[in-house]
Structure 1
Amino acid sequence: MENEPLIDEALKTELSALYRAGDRHYHNLTHIEAMLALAGDYRGLLGDPEAVEAAIWFHDAIYDSKAKDNEAQSAALAETRLAGRGDAGRLARISAMILATATHHLPRFEDAAAMRDAGLFLDMDLSILGAAPAAFDAYERAVRREYDWVEEPMWRAGRAAVLKAFLARPHIFHTEEFRRRFEPQARLNMARSLEALESSA
């Protein structure tokens, strides 16, 4: 069983169907494919590339914009569907990485390589923040559509709070590689977005 891949074609097909749901405008297959492409770019830095790939595939598998426990539900799904495909420690690391996407704070691992993998994984998830302005704006519109049930004043206040919290961090990204590649643009994008939210409030 140990040689069985964590994510096989059958599982990819099953998960892809979840990501293709009609109410997913950003948290969809395109987001997963973008993260998998980044995992390919940085594969040489990953201690356990397969575990990171599994975390990418599962991290938004359950996504309901009205729910508060999507990450916990996605982690539970990963634990169920990956049971028997790896040792308990490896599956626990995958689950912890998925859970960490709720706050984007690093999970605590004893192992330095696992910490680095988690940092790279979380940075891949947030890389859209440092995209070119047009791509960032499209991302913001897509997320707004996912929360179309939230009234505009509530949306503006909530979104502004999220942006302020990220901008207040000493670093948005955990790894040196992603800070160099994405941090300056991410700060510009988010500051611009915040200004727009506050000026039209």
Structure 2
Amino acid sequence: MVNPDPAGLLPDSVAAELLRRWAEPHRHYHDTSHLVNGLVALETLGGSRLELIAFWFHDAVHSNSTPEDERASAALVADLLEGHEAPSDITEIQRLVMLTAGHLTAPDDIAGQRVCDADLSALGADGDAYRRNVEGIRAELPHLTDQEWVHGRSEFLARFLERGHFFGTDRARGLWEAAARANLRDELENLRLANHSGSIGP
């Protein structure tokens, strides 16, 4: 795997603990690939040191429970970074982590926008990569029946498509907005077709 921390943003012990978490076996989308790809996206957007650290932490706890996972990940920031970062910086990192629960930011919160845009950048992946990501998300929810998955995922996609834009920064919109909107529209249409055809199983 590509070294996700070539600049040494984190103490070795902290990076090792976070990588252990990101590599947990139940993760199929929210895994080290998501971490690495998101960090690359954030660097592309000009993310600061604290923003990059926040991305390291944003899904450090992952049980598919929002916003509980983000709260636990934010608490982990203090646990792992105490003594390594200034208290004010820890508070800012925690704030950025919590924003990824809903990806809604104030118009003047450029740091928050960049972190959220990086987290959502995979929505704008090419079609094959997008479909693999969706398969990974589905695999993280094995307790759902096919009908429950189609219903819940369709509702999520429809709500998300109602947003005026997915990304907060102009840079991210230019890079990923059109492809992301097309991906979500195509997925929603395919789910509706599967539902109408009765091919989604019991």
Normalised to the residue count of structure 1, the TM-score between the two structures is: 0.88
Is residue 157–residue 188 contact of structure 2 (8 Å, CA) maintained in 1? yes
Percent of counterpart pairs with the same letter?
A: 29
1:184 pairs, out of 172, 178, 182, with 178
Question: SS state of the match for residue 200, structure 1?
Answer: helix
Equivalent residue runs for 1:68-107 within 5 Å: 69-106=68-105
Give the distance between the partners of 2:34 and 2:65, measured in 1 at CA.
20
Whether the aligned pair in 1 keeps the contact of 2:50 and 2:89 (CA below 8 Å) is yes
Q: Distance in 2 between matches of 1:67 and 1:98?
A: 12
Cα distance, 1:67 vs structure 2: 6.6
Deviation at 1:88, TM superposition (A): 2.7
Q: Give the Cα separation in 1 of the matches to 2:81 and 2:12.
A: 13
Q: Which letter does structure 1 place at the counterpart of 2:124?
A: G
TM-score by length of 2: 0.87
State the alpha-carbon separation in 2 of the partners of residues 134 and 128 from structure 1.
11
Q: CA deviation at 1:171?
A: 0.6
| Distance in 1 between residues matched to 2:50 and 2:66, nearest whole Å | 26
Tell me by how many angstroms 1:122 deviates.
0.4
The answer for unaligned runs of 5 or more in structure 2 is 1-7, 196-202
- The Cα RMSD (Å) is 1.7
Task: Say which SS state the counterpart of residue 13 (structure 1) adopts.
Answer: helix
User: Does 2:33 align with 1:30?
Assistant: yes
Structure 1 letter corresponding to 2:140: E
Distance 1:120 1:66, change over 3 A: closer
Question: What SS does structure 1 have at the residue aligned with 2:64?
Answer: coil
CA shift in 2, pair 1:156/1:71, >3 Å? same
Tell me which residue corresponds to 2:11: 8
Change (3 A) 1:32 1:16: same
Contact 1:55–1:94 (Cα < 8 Å) also in 2: yes
1:47-97 Cα deviation digits (max 9, x unpaired): xx2111111111000001257511111111112211233333322121111
Question: Which blocks of at least 5 consecutive residues in structure 1 are unaligned?
Answer: none
1:20 and 2:19 aligned:
no
Letter in 1 for 2:105: L
1:55 paired residue number: 54
Deviations 1:104-126 (A, max 9, x none): 10168xxx5xx211101100000
Structure-1 separation of matches of 2:176 and 2:44 = 14
Deviation at 1:42, TM superposition (A): 2.9
1:25-47 per-residue CA deviation (whole Å, 9 max, x = no partner) reads 0101111111111233233xx4x
Q: 1:66 to 1:95 in 2, by over 3 A?
A: closer
Q: Which runs of 4+ in 1 moved over 6 A?
A: none
